[in-house]
Amino acid sequence: MIDMLYIHPEYRGKGIGSKLVRHVESLCKTEKLFTSTNQSNLPMQGLLNKLGYVPSSFIDNLDEGDPEVVYSKRIKEDR
């Protein structure tokens, strides 16, 4: 589970966030990787869609009126 991804505002939109997520994928020892973001967070959802993550669940009542969308990606074949 990636808890948080944060890029300094001056360095956003340069591919650094994508690169960091790919790096975590290369280190991940489990078949699937999960992360989550607010439904209102279009930049993060764009990044996740681009890297092949799919919406897998959502959690209400963390931030009022803004569900937390849980994303997952299968990064290894079943062993």
Ligand X SMILES: CC(C)(COP(=O)(O)OP(=O)(O)OC[C@H]1O[C@@H](n2cnc3c(N)ncnc32)[C@H](O)[C@@H]1OP(=O)(O)O)[C@@H](O)C(=O)NCCC(=O)NCCS
> From residue 4, how far is each of 20, 21, 77, 78, 79 by CA, in Å?
11, 10, 25, 26, 28
1, 24, 42, 59: residue in contact with ligand X (rule CB under 6 A)? 42
Q: Which residue of the chain is nearest ligand X when measured via CB? A: 17
1, 24, 31, 43: residue in contact with ligand X (rule CB under 6 A)? 43
Residues 19-38 within binding reach of ligand X (CB under 6 A): 37
CA-nearest of 38, 45, 53, 47 to 13 is 47
Binding positions for ligand X, rule: CB under 6 A: 4-7, 12-18, 37, 41-44, 46-47, 50
